[in-house]
A and B are shown apart, each in its own frame.
Chain A
Amino acid sequence: MAQIRIQNVRKEFGPFTAVRSSSFTIEDGEFFMLLGPSGCGKTTTLRMMAGLELPTSGEIFIDGEEVGMKRASQRDIAFVFQMFALYPHMNVRKNISYPLVSQGMKREEVKTRVAEVARILRIEHILDKPVGGLSGGDRQRVALGRAIVRQPKAFFMDEPLGALDAEFREHMAEELRALHDRMGATTVYVTHDQLEAMQMGDKIVVMNHGVVEQFGRPQQIYDWPATKFVAQFIGSPSMNFLDFEGMIGINGDSVDLGGVRIKVPAAREGRAGRLTLGVRPEHVSFRDAAAYRGRVSAVEYLGTTQIVTLATAHGDLKARISSAQAVREDELVGLDFDPRTLSVFDAESGKALLSQANEGVLGHG
């Protein structure tokens, strides 16, 4: 069990920079998510932590010890691969005991440890089967078994559920989270699925183009995205962006959106020029008297809620409202935005402006 600290880590593959100067800390026992679109550097970051790639520069600390240039086998960590990477020429028992045998552990002890792991994962009945014939879920369990049998300092998982069917993935996600809660081991988990990240993670790092965009608890990231990229990547449908020319002063608590004043959380930094107002779909409500108007262009029914797409003076906007509310296409409606939840971004840099509401989340990170 260990704290993991990444400091200014950078990785170049020839002329291509996969990771540029990442820094973050994973606390002991955390379930930590590395989230981002494919090619964002999240897997490279994980592989550097595991010792499968060496960083071009920067430091990686596991349990206070600098391991950046150490071999994978000397870091006392376990890795679960997306493709499971079970040794195909060995049966389940041999696969799980393989890392112990390599440490030269006594036969008896290996046996006890494997039996214990098999019990935890409920795979006792398949221990003597070859891995070739196993279902995806069982292979995943065996791969987990091979990881936890070592009792390593940390678990690294590279999209471990990516190869599973959708219905089974949900189940395994719960199982994985429960396993983590029982063992309390530091876990770093790479995924491109924002739902998976929010559902399972204690903390999330969102990466894009090799840069850490934001780092924090799932709700903080969802509510107060640090950049437009994070705002768009997390949440489905993603945050609405209303681009406008305008300004907001320090302590200003409203913006002028095409002549309509929209209340926002009090600003901590001012900016003038091209700005973007960010609104989550669920924070849009319909009120006939509201000054900001939009015309309904499409309605998607989702059971308890519906997603209404509206054409406004500042582009398309999606609202998530109760299905009970009747909406007709082509109808002109008044829109209210919940003033406590809005973010204002600098349209050029994509960064969120500090406000009274998000300074607690963004102020130190």
Chain B
Amino acid sequence: MSSYSVTEPSLRQKWCAGVLVVLYALITILPLVWIIATSFKTPSDAIAYPPKTFFTPTVEGYVNVFTTRTRLTEEQLQAVGEPQTWYDRLVRKDGLVISGPSRFAERFTNSVIIGFGSTVLCIVLGTAAAYAFSRFKVPLKDDLLFFILSTRMMPPIAVAIPIFLMFRSLGLSDTHAGMILLYTAVNLSLSVWLLKGFIDEIPIEYEEAALIDGYTRFQAFYKVVLPQAATGIASTAIFCLIFAWNEYAFAVLLTSGNAQTAPPFIPTIIGVSGQDWPAVAAGATLFLVPVMVFTILLRKHLLRGITFGAVRK
């Protein structure tokens, strides 16, 4: 006789669930593993068929993504002299010399400025709007909320041409401010709706208690509501950042030199002889890092329900 419970899944069910989860995780992580592995391969290993599972790792891809290189003749190489640093030696194997830094670092910085800038703006505006919608009597509140949501009812790229023309006449094309504004506009509806849900969950009594304790409404918002909404703010920030960070179409369309972000730049990395796949993979791998770090930093807030147990429902 085995004990039978209505609410607890049986051992077999648990096993099935476990296997499915692991399987799903493997499938989703495979492209990631492929990219990371490719970033450590040599160009010839990267395009080998069948693909090489085992190979001698090299950081050539990472050197290449940050540099531009030139092929020199024997005599010219003689003239340049012995390579000075480890990365000089690495490219010299293929008869190349480093002729200067690539634009990757610059593009990456653009991504950081635009991605985080629009996330911060989105959270600040979104929290304020969500708080107002949640707490105050706003005329036509439901219609306004619906209107805000409706901005996401078509893919943003559908309005690419008007935005392109607007940006051109406003002088926002290829500027950081323009891209921050654009990503904020696209993300704001998500931010307002998500945050309103979280703020609605915070009992209004906390603010009333703070008001009676001698705080102004803004202080009550700042000292009582914001800490309570931390979980919601963190998850909203992650969503906003991921969108702005990964956005490709608008970045291709609206940026070229000054404010180009990493996504449109990475595929354009071309080696000295043919497409440099390890460098592309290295760029993509590095590109993943900030979002990963950001998510890991905020994970604590995502998992911890800080209002738990403080109010008896």
Q: Footprint of B on A, CB under 8 Å?
A: 50-52, 71-73, 77-79, 81, 83-89, 98-99, 102-103, 131-133, 136, 139, 146, 150, 163
By a CB distance below 8 angstroms, the chain B residues around A131 are 309-310
Q: Is B144 interfacial (CB 8 A cutoff)?
A: no
Chain B residues near A50 (CB, 8 Å)?
212
Judge whether B215 is part of the interface by a CB distance below 8 angstroms. yes
- How many Å lie between the Cα of A146 and that of B219 in the bound state? 18
* A73/B213 in contact, CB under 8 A: yes
Q: Is the CB of A83 within 8 A of B205?
A: yes
Q: With A102-B214, A102-B215 given, is the CB distance from A79 to B311 under 8 Å?
A: no
Q: Is the CB of B206 within 8 A of A85?
A: yes
Residues of B within 8 A of A89 (CB): 227-228, 306
Q: Give Cα A84 to B311, complex, Å.
A: 7
Say if the beta carbon of B209 comes within 8 Å of chain A. yes
CA distance A84 to B310 in the complex (A): 9
**A360 to B275 CA separation, bound complex (whole angstroms):** 102
Cβ contacts A to B, 19 pairs, < 8 Å: A51-B211, A72-B208, A73-B216, A77-B212, A81-B208, A83-B311, A85-B209, A85-B311, A86-B310, A87-B224, A88-B228, A88-B310, A89-B228, A98-B213, A99-B214, A102-B213, A131-B309, A136-B312, A139-B312
What is the bound-complex CA distance between A85 and B211, given in angstroms? 12
A102 contact set on B, CB distance < 8 A? 213-215, 219
Q: Contact between B309 and A103 (Cβ–Cβ < 8 Å)?
A: no
| Given the contacts A50-B212, A99-B214, A102-B214, A81 and B205 also touching, CB distance less than 8 Å | yes
The one of A51, A52, A85, A132 that contacts B308, using a Cβ cutoff of 8 Å:
A132
| Bound CA span A99–B313, Å | 25
Question: Given the complex, which residues of A lie within 8 Å of B197, measured CB to CB?
Answer: none
Q: Is B70 an interface residue (CB 8 A)?
A: no
Q: Once the chains are docked, how many angstroms separate the CA of A132 from the CA of B211?
A: 22
B310 touches A79 (CB 8 A): no
Interface centre among A77, A85, A87, A98 (most CB of B within 10 A): A85
**Minimum C-beta distance from A151 to chain B (A):** 13
Return chain A residues, CB-CB under 8 Å to B205.
81, 83, 85
Of B210, B215, B310, B313, most A-chain CB atoms within 10 Å = B310
| Interface status of B307 (Cβ within 8 A of chain A) | yes
Known: A132-B309, A132-B310. A85 touches B214 (CB 8 A): no
The 5 closest A-B pairs by CB, nearest first: A88-B310, A85-B205, A99-B213, A132-B309, A102-B214
Contacts of B215 in A (CB 8 A): 73, 102
* Contacts A84-B312, A89-B306, A103-B214 known; 13 new A-B pairs at CB < 8 A: A51-B212, A73-B212, A73-B215, A79-B208, A79-B209, A81-B208, A81-B209, A85-B203, A85-B209, A87-B206, A98-B213, A131-B309, A136-B312
Which residues from B are CB-within-8-Å of A132?
A: 308-310
Within 8 A of A (CB), among B295-313: 306-313
Given contacts A85-B206, A89-B228, contact A72 B212 (CB under 8 A): yes
Q: Which of B199-235 contact A (CB under 8 A)?
A: 203, 205-206, 208-216, 219, 224, 227-228
Assembled-state Cα–Cα distance A83/B213 (Å): 16
In the complex, are the beta carbons of B306 and A163 less than 8 A apart? no
- Of listed B208, B212, B215, B312, residue having the most chain A CB within 10 A: B212
Given contacts A81-B205, A83-B312, whether A88 and B306 have CB atoms under 8 Å apart is yes
Judge whether B208 and A85 touch: CB under 8 Å. yes
The docked-state distance in angstroms from the alpha carbon of A98 to that of B213 is: 7
In angstroms, how far is the closest chain A Cβ from the Cβ of B45?
53
Known: A84-B312, A85-B203, A87-B206. A73 touches B306 (CB 8 A): no
Given contacts A88-B310, A132-B308, whether A73 and B214 have CB atoms under 8 Å apart is yes
Which residue of chain B has its CB nearest to the CB of A99? Answer: B213
Expressed in whole angstroms, the Cα–Cα distance for A89 and B306 within the complex equals 7
- Inter-chain contacts of B227 with A (CB < 8 A): 89
A159 to B227, CA, bound (A): 27
With a cutoff of 8 Å between Cβ atoms, the chain B residues found around residue A78 in the complex are: 212
Residue of B nearest to A74 (CB): B214
In the complex, A139→B209 CA distance in Å?
Answer: 14
Q: For A73, A87, A88, A146, which residue has the most chain B Cβ atoms within 10 angstroms?
A: A88
A89 to B307 Cα, complex, angstroms:
7
Q: Give the chain B neighbours of A73 by CB distance below 8 A.
A: 211-216
Of A73, A79, A98, A133, most B-chain CB atoms within 10 Å: A73
Collect the chain B residues with CB atoms within 8 Å of residue A103's CB: 214
Given A85-B206, A88-B307, A79:B212 Cβ within 8 A = yes
CB of B313 to closest CB in A, whole Å: 8
User: Please, which residues of chain A bring their CB within 8 A of the CB of B214?
Assistant: 73, 99, 102-103
Chain A residues contacting B228 (CB-CB under 8 Å) are 88-89
The chain A residue with its CB closest to the CB of B310 is A88
Give chain B residues whose Cβ lies under 8 Å from the Cβ of A79.
208-209, 212
Q: Which residues of A have CB within 8 Å of B208?
A: 52, 72, 79, 81, 85
B106-147 at interface with A (beta carbon < 8 Å): none
Closest to B217 in A: A71
B23 nearest CB across to chain A (Å):
37
- The residues of B that contact A88 with a CB separation of less than 8 Å are 206, 228, 306-311
The complex places the Cα of A86 from the Cα of B307 at a distance, in Å, of 10
Provide the bound-state CA to CA distance between A136 and B313, in Å.
Answer: 11
Closest to A73 in B: B214
> Which of the listed residues A51, A78, A79 has the most CB atoms from chain B within 10 Å of its own CB?
A79
Which residue on chain B has the smallest CB distance to residue A164? B312
Q: How far is the CA of A50 from the CA of B313 in the complex (A)?
A: 23
A103 to B309, CA, bound (A): 28
A86 to B312, CA, bound (A): 10
Residues of A within 8 A of B306 (CB): 88-89
